[in-house]
Amino acid sequence: MDQTGERAADVLVADDRIAEVGTGLRGDRELDAGGCIVAPGLVDLHVHLREPGMEDAETIETGARAAALGGFTAIVAMPNTTPAQDDPAVVSAVLAAGSRSSCDVQAAGTITKARAGGELAPMGELHALGVRIFTDDGSCVDSAGVMRAALEYAASLPGAVVAQHAEDDSLAGGGHMHEGDWSSRLGIPGRPAAAEDTIVARDCILAATTGSRLHFLHLSTAGAIELVRAAKARGLPITAEAAPHHFTLTDAACASFDPIFKVNPPLRTDADVAAVKAGLADGTIDAIATDHAPHRTEAKERPFEEAPPGMLGLETALALTLGELVEPGVMSLGDALARLSWGPAAIAGLADHGGPVHAGSIANLCVFDPGVRWVVEADALASRASNTPYAGQTLRGRTRHTVLRGTPVVVDGSPVR
């Protein structure tokens, strides 16, 4: 399957490029793709690699390996590291480690220094190093004035996009799950949908007045998705992503009091899940992004209200997309791959990723078997952490080979780098 449709064919790779797509092709080394889909490598706009600062949870090397196993050939490393990626030296170090890893790593830069929400980071200097996505992810830019200044600055930087973690801290602060029936029943302080909706509404207005590119990270509420749909209909340069846990899980999971289900923005209601699916189906949401957020087991074994938010996502995203969106007919396989590959590649300006699978393209490929069933084993994941909410579940569809710039980095489901 590529952007033009499905067909049975061989893909011949020479050096870092696709040399030919056709039948009866032979090369020095052959990877069996029988029964598989050969797609452009997947692209994840939202990954926490935890390096520098939290290498006991993940490193650039282990996170990139998990990405490759998930079929990703490019990922965007979120800047909420310690120190934060608000500085050219930190960004350069992340890029250097990424260049030795199993996938292409684009570093995101912060919007504000130390993600403190005040003074802007040196966005121009970071842009010169290749940064295209600027975000204080993990924290919302609460100040409308700072957000407007960032949007204005980014407008002068080619390809730059400001990405908002839309949760108003004055509404969501102190909450640990979605505010609603379940939080009342469980007695856990909630994070209301309004925390997301109000920031999305405000930032759509700021994007309109500045004309700057704006991206919304991990949309999770029906209200926010409707706001983005309306803004796009008005022609605003806005894009959005959603995470697999927001179209597969609801706040009811928190009834277990298991912090594995704690994430920001939180798991929401059935109606919100339906809205995320509808937004992905009609293109209001441009990308599926994992928000892969590794945490040490000890950190996640604390009581619900003390545990840090976040869950793994890289190795399960493709199967969850196939199982929740493609198999039930919410969207076609082609549209699903658009949200997983060329949609996010376009947002991040990753010209070498997202296909098409044609002669001449850089050979960044994800070869996956859509029919194979597998059980998620938390401890068997390549990620250094094991905080997946899908442990023990049987999923369908898995990467067989991943090819990065012509070099196989996953062969028959095993990492080779």
The question of whether 2 is a catalytic residue gets the answer no
Q: Is 115 in the site for Zn ion (CB under 5 A)?
A: no
* Min CB(165)–Zn ion separation in Å: 4
**Residues touching Zn ion, count (CB under 5 A):** 2
Cβ contact 314:42 at 8 Å? no
Q: Is 48 in the site for Zn ion (CB under 5 A)?
A: no
Q: If 0-12 CB within 10 Å is exposed, 13-18 middle and 19+ buried, where does residue 174 land?
A: exposed
Q: Is 61 in the site for Zn ion (CB under 5 A)?
A: no
How many Cβ atoms are within 10 Å of 414's Cβ, its own excluded?
A: 10
Stretch in the footprint of Zn ion (CB under 5 A) among 56-64, 165-173, 252-260, 409-417 = 165-173
Q: Could you say which DSSP state residue 361 is in?
A: S
Stretch in the footprint of Zn ion (CB under 5 A) among 55-63, 100-108, 137-145, 350-358 = 137-145
Distance CA 325, CA 279 (A): 12
Distance CA 134, CA 142 (A): 15
Q: Is 165 in the site for Zn ion (CB under 5 A)?
A: yes
**Per-position DSSP letters for 120-141, written without gaps between them:** BP-HHHHHHTT--EEE-TTS--
Q: Which residue has the tokens 């912060």?
A: 110
Tell me whether residue 58 or residue 137 sits nearer to Zn ion (CB atom): 137
Stretch in the footprint of Zn ion (CB under 5 A) among 134-142, 197-205, 221-229, 279-287 = 134-142
Catalytic residue among 291, 335, 352, 412: 291
Q: Cis (ω within 30 of 0) for the bond into 158?
A: no
Of residues 195-224, those binding Zn ion (CB under 5 A): none
Q: Is 50 in the site for Zn ion (CB under 5 A)?
A: no
Tell me whether residue 172 or residue 331 sits nearer to Zn ion (CB atom): 172
Q: Is 137 in the site for Zn ion (CB under 5 A)?
A: yes
Residue with smallest beta-carbon separation from Zn ion: 165
Distance CA 345, CA 340 (A): 9
SS3 246: helix
How many Cβ atoms are within 10 Å of 289's Cβ, its own excluded?
A: 30
Q: Is 167 in the site for Zn ion (CB under 5 A)?
A: no
Tell me whether residue 292 or residue 405 sits nearer to Zn ion (CB atom): 292
Interface residues with Zn ion (CB under 5 A)? Answer: 137, 165
Query: Residues with catalytic annotation?
Result: 291
